[in-house]
Structure 1
Amino acid sequence: MSNIVIIGSGPAGVSAALYTARAGVDTTVLTRGPGALDRAELIQNYYGFAASISGAELERQGIEGAKAVGVKFVTTEAVGLTYTDKLTVETLDGDYPADAVILATGASRATPRIPGLAGLEGHGVSYCATCDAFFYRGKDVAVVGSGEYALHEVQALLPVAASVTLLLNGAPPAAEFPPEVAVRPEKIDAILGEQKVTGVQLSGGDVVELAGVFVALGVAGSTALARKIGAAVENGRIVTDEKMQTTVPGLYAAGDCTGGLLQVAKAVYEGALAGTEAAKALRKR
């Protein structure tokens, strides 16, 4: 039996799950818990609700409906996406291989506005330690972040790099980092370098010389996961075709992470389309 893993339990992810499960595909939703919809106090513009409904209640009802048709929900944090013999979602609690994956974690709000960051992407600025660690053998690198996702990237770099520095960028540490990692709490003023990264300028005036900077802020949202497997991302949104498929076969995206109207109705539609198309593609295999 084919299986699908959906990352995110908001309206896009749950809508996709309803369609894949009803099509007979073994469906697992990976969730970190309540998302942006949960924080919406009252929704008054959603079809079918005469009275206002809270975002939390709409989210709860959606998840209950998916569970009723056999969707499995697992609470964990996705930190990576790889392809070996099949697509595999890496989480803090192990790997989830899948015949297809749908990214539906909402819009990423964790891209820092640091001068030099965007311009040096691919020239020393990376969003995937597993993909790019090899290029930094014996070199000094840094990870920007403070939580479990940053720790995952640090652990991928430690066996390869000469040194790994953790740049907290003003945030408090939210995970236990190995003692050999130098921790710098200051805000980052700029990523330095013309053709490639040469270091970072910190708010206190210090310059840390580096060959690479790996961004791992907050949790790995859909765009970060897409980047890890080489799917096209433009202006912070995942590029999809008319079937909601990314540039990587078997990988779909739906909801706020694809840009456009940031509304529940659009997320539900795209989830339905991604789920339908993924199920159709798996039937043809």
Structure 2
Amino acid sequence: MPTHSRVLILGSGPAGYTAAIYAARASLEPVMVAGPEPGGQLTTTTEVENYPGFPKGITGPDMMEEFRAQAERFGTKLHYDMGVRVDLSRRPFVVEGEADTYHGDALIIATGASAKWLGLPNEQRLRMSGGGVTACATCDGAFYRNQDVAVIGGGDTAMEEATFLTRMCRSVHLIHRRDTFRASKIMQTRAIENPKITVHYNTEVADVLGGDRVVGLALRDTVTGAARELAVTGLFLAIGHQPNSDIFKGQLDMDETGYLKVRPGSTYTNIPGVFACGDVADKVYRQAVSAAGTGCMAAIDAERWLAEHL
């Protein structure tokens, strides 16, 4: 027998949990399908120092545990399952999970986005352990004050992250596997002309060096194959994010990279009763606090829509 709810929430990061808190307090008895990474990207972050209300900082996993407890306190029913198929052509909306099937009169999508990684074993080990590999300069740059760091990427995000890091880091090495950047000219100029940034063209990372912490990078010239090492204490990946929206293809409007489109100033998608919040619909900010804000918006949008239509 499918699990039915007035509000069904997919995803359990800051956006999903905030939507659940608001929906539960509105007596909508939300059901949440947590997804493959309960707690979202913050569960792989060590210290969070830029979320309001935590002046001493908090670890990502601890913060998401607080979010979960608050959502469940008001009656959110949490299912540790992952949606694999959806049918948004009729109401109630249908989400098929690996373990169960879920029906929702309204659907809030908070499935987030995943940073793209190089896939190197040491990169993943040091990322998961908080050893100096990250994909968010805004989140983690302050931990590398007066240190030498590297940024990988060639787009606007890489230029922006590298430039941002020069405010607190001693030096920033910008590594790109090609001989030209794809970033806009103004962003390129800003980065290239910054005296703290050293650009390494035609260069790729062959390995991340370090035991408990990053101590350097093994680099390879993509033209000559020559190998060398670079001493840094932090590695910032800026090679893009992938919104977790594949199961909605063909049903919801999205941009060319898969971010869900919402009506400006709201969380309404192109299907009435379906709302999107957090990083799955945000390719600009991608912060926990902005995700939580749109989660609040989604719950209020869903509550008002339900009041008018059901």
Q: Do they superpose with TM above 0.5?
A: yes
TM-score (ref. length: structure 1): 0.58
Measure how far apart 1:85 and its partner are.
3.7
**Partners of 1:226 and 1:233 within 8 A in 2:** no
Assess, with a 3 A threshold, how the Cα gap between structure 1 residues 77 and 110 changes in structure 2: closer, same or farther.
farther
Assess, with a 3 A threshold, how the Cα gap between structure 1 residues 228 and 88 changes in structure 2: closer, same or farther.
farther
Alignment of 1:1-285 (within 5 A): 3-31=6-34, 32=36, 33-86=38-91, 87-109=93-115, 222-241=244-263, 242-258=265-281, 259-285=283-309
Measure how far apart 1:105 and its partner are.
1.5
Q: Which residue of 1 aligns with 2:202?
A: none
Q: In structure 2, what residue type is equivalent to 1:62? A: F
Distance in 2 separating the partners of 1:51 and 1:108:
27
**Partners of 1:80 and 1:228 within 8 A in 2:** no
Assess, with a 3 A threshold, how the Cα gap between structure 1 residues 109 and 224 changes in structure 2: closer, same or farther.
farther
Distance in 2 separating the partners of 1:262 and 1:59:
16
5+ residue gaps in structure 1?
A: 112-219
Q: In structure 1, what residue type is equivalent to 2:96? A: E
Distance in 2 separating the partners of 1:95 and 1:84:
16
Measure how far apart 1:90 and its partner are.
1.1
Q: Which residue of 2 aligns with 1:140?
A: none
Q: Which has the larger radius of gyration?
A: 2
Query: What count of residue pairs does the alignment treat as equivalent?
Result: 178
Measure how far apart 1:109 and its partner are.
4.8
SS of aligned partner of 2:64: helix
Q: Which residue of 1 aligns with 2:120?
A: none
**Partners of 2:30 and 2:77 within 8 A in 1:** yes
Measure how far apart 1:262 and its partner are.
1.1
More displaced 10-residue stretch of structure 1: 29-38 or 73-82: 29-38
Measure how far apart 1:108 and its partner are.
4.2
SS of aligned partner of 2:301: helix
Q: What are the superposed Cα offsets for residues 132-189 of structure 1, whole Å, 9 maximum, x if unpaired?
A: xxxxxxxxxxxxxxxxxxxxxxxxxxxxxxxxxxxxxxxxxxxxxxxxxxxxxxxxxx
Measure how far apart 1:221 and its partner are.
6.4
Distance in 2 separating the partners of 1:261 and 1:228:
26
Distance in 1 separating the partners of 2:271 and 2:304:
17
Q: In structure 1, what residue type is equivalent to 2:258? A: G
Q: In structure 2, what residue type is equivalent to 1:99? A: D
Measure how far apart 1:37 and its partner are.
0.6
Q: In structure 2, what residue type is equivalent to 1:275? A: A
SS of aligned partner of 1:3: strand
Q: In structure 1, what residue type is equivalent to 2:277? A: A
Q: What are the superposed Cα offsets for residues 242-274 of structure 1, whole Å, 9 maximum, x if unpaired?
A: 221111111111111112201111000000001
Root-mean-square deviation (Å): 2.3
5+ residue gaps in structure 2?
A: 118-241
SS of aligned partner of 1:67: helix
Measure how far apart 1:84 and its partner are.
4.9
**Partners of 2:252 and 2:260 within 8 A in 1:** no
Distance in 2 separating the partners of 1:15 and 1:96:
20
